[in-house]
Structure 1
Amino acid sequence: MLKTTLKTLLLASTLAGAAGLAQAADITLRATATSNENDEDYDGLVVFKNYVENASNGAIAVELFIGTQLCATGEECLQGVADGSIDVFISTSGGAAGLFPYIQVLDLPYLMSDDRVAETVLSGDFTRELRARALADSGDAIRLMTIGNTGGWRSYANTKGTVHTPADLKGLKMRTVPADLPQQAAMAVGASPTPIPWPELFTSLQTGVVEGTANGITDIMSMKFPDAGLKYLTLDNHSYMGAFWWMSNARFEGLTPEQRQVVVDGFAALQQATFASPKRKSIQAYDDFKAAGGEVYVPTAEEKAAFKEAATPVFDWFKGNVTGGAEVFDQFTAAITKAQAEVDAERAADLN
């Protein structure tokens, strides 16, 4: 009886509080993700919305637009952020590379060793350095708030057979986005890059237009690619699938100092949610992949070293052909070296 009464009181209090928050809100942030409610981006936005609305005591409301209600492409959405019609938007590196080409540095293969290192890098000064650069390049219109994750790590998957070394990718028709960097990366490991839009990838795998792709397991299973013949996955984890969270700088600077703190802390909570979400979702995704007849292969240290060596020319290409690439590459690799040392020291201390 007491438990029932307490639950009733708690529910009534929560509903009353939510109603109070809604009535008190005098600022509404419009946030959009061109994905769906099964995606890590949505998980992050839900955490952000909950934190900001509660921590601001209802002064700030967050309205979520999932899908293409406000905009359809990265370029269109970022234009909305710049002109103030959209307050918050999440993009992949490819979705924002037209405006900020150097953010593709996260797509360079085999630089970060694992999640702990990646999360340390993206929680530190490297993100702030990218923020300053993006603000300058957008005329102080578009502010990078944080970098999270959207799908774990990219690995090679294909319809033909187990991939142990770059030699096994030779001539394989590898799906890429229509951008220079991923095509250079595919060629470096011996594959034949084939630009295919994401919505067409299932049919392209099914018909043999492409024979492989570089994706995370949650994307592979959400798109049901095993049904199109994708059966072989090599967990080389060659690049971290970064999620770039942008905000209208005018909107951010128009908030009070206290409200800006709430928003910054909200993005910190969002980042942690997107770091965690792929780890949980991948457990079921791997089980489903194997149940669908898929094979998961983990390369040896020597095999992974062979992939890294083959991909090395892409680094020079990036530094020489991407605007701002050389400086951002140096900042990124310096941040990785520092983060790796920190993580190694923490591991050593915890093993004592």
Structure 2
Amino acid sequence: MYKTALKAALAGAMLLSAPLAATAQDFTIRATANSNENDEDYDGLVVFKNFVESASNGAIAVELFIGTQLCSNGAECIQGVADGSIDVFVTTSGGASGVFPYVQVFDLPYVMRDDRVAEAVLTDGPFVRLLREKALADSGDTVRVMTVGNTGGWRNFANTQRRVEEPADLADLKIRTVVADLPQELVRALDASPTPIPWPELFTSLQTGVVEGSKNGITDIMNMKFPEAGLQYVTLDGHAYMAAIWVMNNQKFLSMPEELRRVVVDGFTQLQQATFASPKRKSVPAYEEFVEGGGDLYVPSPAQKAAFAEAAAPVYDWFNQNVDGGEEVLAALREAVAKAEAEIDAGYAADLN
């Protein structure tokens, strides 16, 4: 009797740990990213595809469309997700701000101090769930925020003219921004001149002096060969986390049985972890290449970084007053950041002694 019971228990455990059996109804997820195969978004999608197809035992197929095969910009792609012609899309805050303006919260400067804080805030927390609730409500239950990862590390000020050590050094520089309002308000707060330029035109704009600087991570700078256009000064102020917001058609997600929805959710967790790691690894050779090519890399002191944050403070008031839902979202982000910082600092206290 004991052996029989043991065999039954082992069999049950094997069933629980085995891959899901293929269901009678198969599902195909069409996922797109307006990037290329050198990008963190692509790394995340490869991990997502491998995990979901394997863990669903073939019940879910994931098709990847990299570039502009299905849509060409954030607004168009999000509309594709809403109408169901696209199942999964990754957008930056700038790309989604026209539809969900409060996601510009990720462009607010100096809110999160480092990767540990950012990753704690964005992993299975109430802040991301608030974004999901608001996006579902604003899209008529069609666009579901699945997770928020990273696409390029942190935004830093870079320019063609001079080293930037403090806010005054940015004065009068023509800084490229996206069309979204908040990045332009930040540049104005620092006494520079915001100049909206489409991403594909930035190299030529730097080369010809239409703009003199930008706000980018080092991997984007090197992948796009901006130093060849004269971009030789980078200040590692880390003013904004380059968030990648992954959305999915809500009807497609809810049409799956619960066990497959669980697989998809777990797949986005795997994707998120891949995008957290990818920029860290890729930035190492990118920084080396930048410096070897004659680039000037400057790390602000804590006092200098505090001066940047102080100069940028008016942007928070602008966000609360001008962005629908902004005050609620910023409060939620600050609360999540404070909790993450407290837990991390408590860990330091325990681990350093």
Q: Do they superpose with TM above 0.5?
A: yes
Once the two structures are superposed, residues 148-206 of structure 1 have per-residue CA deviations (whole angstroms, 9 ceiling, x without a partner) of 00000000001111100011001111111122111100011111111111111111111
Alpha-carbon distance between aligned partners in 1 of 2:321 and 2:269, rounded to the nearest angstrom:
33
SS at 2:113 equivalent: coil
Shift of 1:348: 2.1
**Percent identity of the aligned residues?**
69
Structural mapping, 1:209-224, within 5 Å: 209-224=210-225
Does the CA contact (< 8 Å) of 2:22 and 2:57 recur in 1?
A: no
The answer to whether the 8 Å contact 1:149/1:243 transfers is yes
Residue 121 of structure 1 aligns to which amino acid in structure 2? V
Work out the CA distance in 2 between the residues paired with 1:45 and 1:97. Answer: 23
Aligned position for 1:6: none
1:102 partner SS: helix
Question: Offset of 1:226 from its aligned partner?
Answer: 0.4
The AA in structure 1 aligned to 2:42 is: Y
Q: Within 1, Cα distance between the matches of 2:241 and 2:218?
A: 13
Instruction: Work out whether 1:158 is the aligned partner of 2:159.
Output: yes
Q: Structure 1 residue 83: deviation in Å?
A: 1.0
CA contact (8 A) 2:101 2:324 kept: yes
- Correspondences of 1:1-352 after superposition (within 5 Å): 26-123=26-123, 124-352=125-353
DSSP 3-state at the match of 2:235? strand
CA distance, structure 2, for counterparts of residue 341 and residue 280 of structure 1: 27
Is the deviation greater in 173-182 or in 254-263? 173-182
Contact 1:176 1:195 in 2 (8 A): yes
User: Secondary structure at 1:213's aligned position in 2?
Assistant: strand
Q: What does the per-residue CA deviation read over 1:290-334, in whole Å, with 9 as the maximum and x for residues that have no partner?
A: 121101100001100100000000000000001111111111111
Contact 2:45/2:64 (CA < 8 Å) preserved in 1?
Answer: yes
Q: Give TM-score, length-normalised by structure 2.
A: 0.92
Residues 203 and 25 of structure 1: is their aligned pair in 2 closer, same or farther, counting only changes over 3 Å? Answer: farther
Answer whether contact 2:117 2:340 (CA < 8 A) is retained: yes
How much does 1:342 deviate?
A: 1.1
CA-CA distance at 1:350 after TM superposition:
2.0
- Please report how far the alpha carbon of residue 132 of structure 1 lies from its aligned counterpart in structure 2 after TM superposition: 0.7
1:301 counterpart letter in structure 2: P
CA contact (8 A) 1:22 1:61 kept: no
Q: Which runs of 5+ in 1 are unaligned?
A: 1-20
Question: Separation in 1 of the partners of 2:132 and 2:351?
Answer: 33
> Partner letter of residue 183 of structure 2?
P
What is the alpha-carbon distance in structure 2 between the residues aligned to residue 77 and residue 176 of structure 1?
20
Measured in 1, the distance between the counterparts of 2:50 and 2:98 equals: 32
Q: Please give the alpha-carbon distance, in whole angstroms, between the structure 1 residues aligned to 2:292 and 2:249.
A: 44
Equivalent residues of 2:22, 2:56 under 8 A apart: no
Contact 2:178 2:197 in 1 (8 A): yes
Structure 2 segments unaligned to the other structure (5+ residues): 1-20
Q: Deviations over 1:215-268 (max 9, x none)?
A: 000000000000001001000000000000000000000000000000000000
Secondary structure of 1:57's aligned partner: coil
Once residues 336 and 192 of structure 2 are traced to their aligned partners in structure 1, the CA distance between those partners, rounded to angstroms, is 30
| TM-score in terms of structure 1 length | 0.92
8 Å contact from structure 2 (residues 81, 143) kept in 1? yes
Shift, 1:208, TM fit = 1.0
The answer (yes or no) to whether the contact 2:30–2:87 under 8 Å persists in 1 is yes
Distance, in Å, in 2 between the alignment partners of 1:182 and 1:228 is: 22
1:24 and 1:174 mapped to 2: Cα distance? 55
Q: Give the number of equivalent residue pairs.
A: 332
What SS class does the counterpart of residue 210 from structure 2 fall into? coil
Indicate if the aligned counterparts of 2:35 and 2:67 stay in contact, CA closer than 8 A: yes
| CA–CA distance in structure 2, aligned partners of residues 198 and 339 of structure 1 | 33
Paired residues of 2:98 and 2:180 also in contact (CA < 8 A): no
Distance 2:53 2:348 in 1: 37
Q: Once the two structures are superposed, what CA deviation does each residue of 1:14-69 show, in whole Å capped at 9, x if it has no partner?
A: xxxxxxx9999821110000100000000000000001001001110100000111
SS in 2 for 1:230: coil
- 2:78 and 2:197 map into 1 onto residues whose CA distance is 23
Aligned residues of 1:43 and 1:274 also touching (Cα < 8 A): yes
Contact 2:135 2:145 (8 Å CA) reproduced: yes
CA distance in 1, matches of 2:348, 2:278: 23
CA distance in 2, matches of 1:167, 1:216: 21
